[in-house]
Amino acid sequence: MIVKGTAHQVGDHIDTDAIIPARFLVTTDSSELGANCMEGLEAGWGKRLKKNDIIVAGENFGCGSSREHAPISILGAGVPVVVAKSFARIFYRNGFNMGLVLLEVGDDIEKINDTDQIEVDTVSGEIRNITTGAVITCAAVPSFMQEILDAGGLVEYAKKKLV
């Protein structure tokens, strides 16, 4: 999958309550959650997101509780990919289970600035910063996890396997 969009930076240790505060957990509707994405970080933050934009995070993105609502809200906001220095492990697995692509790039995260135009190729693991010309290479999404993503998440993947 290739995604082109605007980078939206967030800092280190962004927890799931910043991604989608508890007061919005009364639904699992992705568009409703998406309308409130990052509301715990800054009121109205999610309104700047457009379809195919990319969240660019620092260290330990998604720490905190294991709520599945967090990756659902990101997807509901139109963001198919998060690129980060590192992810909290439970969020990493939840993200893929919900159908959200997560790419870890370590210190190369510094090659992406807020509002840069970037292109992410999840198959090759290449991230091109169209604005600056920088290229970041990270591990591609493993094939078994790509199958989960292609199915639309773990539930849909399991349904297809059981039929």
Residue with tokens 């492990």: 89
pLDDT of res. 6: 98
pLDDT of res. 140: 87
What is the phi-psi region of residue 52: left when phi exceeds 0, alpha when psi lies from -120 to 50, beta otherwise? left
**Would you mind telling me the total number of residues written for the chain in this entry?**
163
pLDDT of res. 66: 85
Q: What is the pLDDT of residues 96-137, one digit of tens each?
A: 999 999 999 999 999 999 999 999 999 899 999 999 999 999
Reported as a pLDDT band with limits 50, 70 and 90, residue 65 is: confident
pTM, rounded to two decimals? 0.95
Domains in the chain: ranges and CATH:
2-162 (3.20.19.10)
pLDDT of res. 42: 92
Instruction: Name the token pair of 115.
Output: 């509002």
Reported as a pLDDT band with limits 50, 70 and 90, residue 34 is: very high
Which backbone phi and psi does 132 adopt, to 5 degrees?
-105, -15
SS3 69: helix
pLDDT of res. 8: 98
Rounded average pLDDT over 22-42: 95
Q: Across all residues in the chain, what is the average pLDDT? A: 95
Which backbone phi and psi does 119 adopt, to 5 degrees?
-125, 125
Q: What is the pLDDT of residues 4-30, one digit of tens each?
A: 999 999 999 999 999 999 999 999 999
Instruction: Name the token pair of 99.
Output: 């159908």
Higher pLDDT, 143 or 73: 73
pLDDT of res. 163: 79
Rounded to the nearest angstrom, the gap between the alpha carbon of residue 33 and the centroid of all alpha carbons in its chain is: 14
pLDDT of res. 117: 98
